[in-house]
Amino acid sequence: MRMGRETNPDSHNPARRNRKWIAAAAIVLVLLAAVALWCRWVYGQIEWYASRDQAAPADAICVFGAAEYDGRPSPVFRTRLDHALELYRRGLAPLIITLGGPGGDEFTEGSVGRTYLESRGVPEENIIAETESTDTEESARRVAVIARANDLQRLIIVSDGSHLFRIHAISSADGLDVLTSPRPEPESEQGNMQFQRLAHEIVSYTLWRLHLH
């Protein structure tokens, strides 16, 4: 018995094949447009928080950690600490919380921040050092724990401007009342590194919103 050869119905119908390709291309374009709009919106939020200093009277100032080198804060971390110190000396809050876990050696970012602030005249009892968190999201979660344990109602968050939108979003989701205050950023840090930080924040915020981070 002779078997008939199977044929693809689209192989003899170019119009149908073209319609499928057009439909697939349209779907791809819609998805790309949606991603572009989402990235543009997140970028706008990052820029908004980075360009505004909301510092006002609060219960504590929270300094998000950066790298430390053998017990000394990195230049970025030191700038954050100095900015927090300025807010503290202005009398905006009686307490400073330093955040950050192990930096790859025997020290933690939180403890290094505390030591630095003590050397600048802040009394030990006016500093809380958090020494377990390993990234921005975990630090924000730890802030919520510390705030509830110490009955802190309003917090000033100090970090790089590009971090503040994500930190604000996470903290607000945890029910905190937070104000953001970006550290001063020298011109030498702008350019390609700034682009990399923005791209990182857009991706990190998106993953957090999708519960994938």
Answer yes or no: is 58 within a domain.
Answer: yes
Share of the chain above pLDDT 70, in %: 89
What would the 3-class secondary structure string for 184-208 be? CCCHHHCCHHHHHHHHHHHHHHHHH
Answer yes or no: is 157 within a domain.
Answer: yes
Answer yes or no: is 57 within a domain.
Answer: yes
Q: How confident is the model at residue 2 (pLDDT cuts 50, 70, 90)?
A: low
Per-residue model confidence as pLDDT tens digits over 182-196: 998 866 655 555 788
Of 45, 53, 36, 52, residue with least CA distance to 90: 53
Answer yes or no: is 180 within a domain.
Answer: yes
Answer yes or no: is 6 within a domain.
Answer: no
How many Cα atoms are found within 13 Å in the side-chain-facing hemisphere of 107? 18
Residue 147: give the domain boundaries: 50-209
Q: In this model, does residue 10 exceed pLDDT 60?
A: no
Answer yes or no: is 29 within a domain.
Answer: no
Cα separation of 202 and 199, whole Å?
A: 5
| pLDDT greater at residue 15 or residue 34 | 34
Answer yes or no: is 41 within a domain.
Answer: no
The DSSP code sequence of 90-138 is TTS-S-EEEE--B-SSS-BHHHHHHHHHHHTT--GGGEEEE----SHHH
Q: In this model, does residue 13 exceed pLDDT 50?
A: yes
What pTM did the predictor assign? 0.85
Q: How confident is the model at residue 21 (pLDDT cuts 50, 70, 90)?
A: confident
Both tokens of residue 151? 């009955």
CATH code at position 137: 3.40.50.620
Looking at residue 1, its pLDDT comes to 47
Element (H or E) spanning 178, and its range?
strand 177-182
Cα separation of 139 and 213, whole Å?
A: 14
Cα separation of 147 and 126, whole Å?
A: 14
Count up the domains in the chain and report the number.
1
Answer yes or no: is 18 within a domain.
Answer: no
Q: How confident is the model at residue 43 (pLDDT cuts 50, 70, 90)?
A: very high
Per-residue model confidence as pLDDT tens digits over 131-181: 999 999 999 999 999 999 999 999 999 999 999 999 999 999 999 999 999
